[in-house]
Amino acid sequence: MTPEQLLRVAEEFCAVHRVRVRSFGALVGAAAVATARIEGIPVHADEAAAGRALAESVVRLAPLTARNEEFAEVAREVFRRLHT
């Protein structure tokens, strides 16, 4: 998931739940976790693990002013759909 894709998801989520993006850097960081590679080798065993890492990163980085746990699950589901 690119940072731009995650931002689009966040914008929709924020509009529905009346929250705001608190940190664009945190959004970029969470997106990077899902697609992380070292010397071209993915750090996650599979797409499911990458999706879980994305969700965990959203919760820990808390890019929104509230409802980050719910946003994490939405982001994970969107990620899964993008990669199936």
Quote the pLDDT of residue 34. Answer: 94
Structurally, the chain folds into a number of domains equal to 1
> How far apart are the C-alpha atoms of 53 and 83, rounded to whole Å?
14
Q: According to the model, what pLDDT value does residue 33 have?
A: 96
Q: Which domain holds residue 50?
A: 3-82
Distance CA 55, CA 71 (A): 8
3-state secondary structure 55-79: HHHHHHHCCECCCHHHHHHHHHHHH
pLDDT at 1: 87
pTM: 0.94
DSSP H or E segment with residue 52: helix 47-61
Instruction: Please list the rounded mean pLDDT of every run of 10 residues in the chain (84 residues).
Output: 96 98 98 95 96 98 98 97 90
d(CA 46, CA 68): 24
- Supply the pLDDT for residue 71: 98
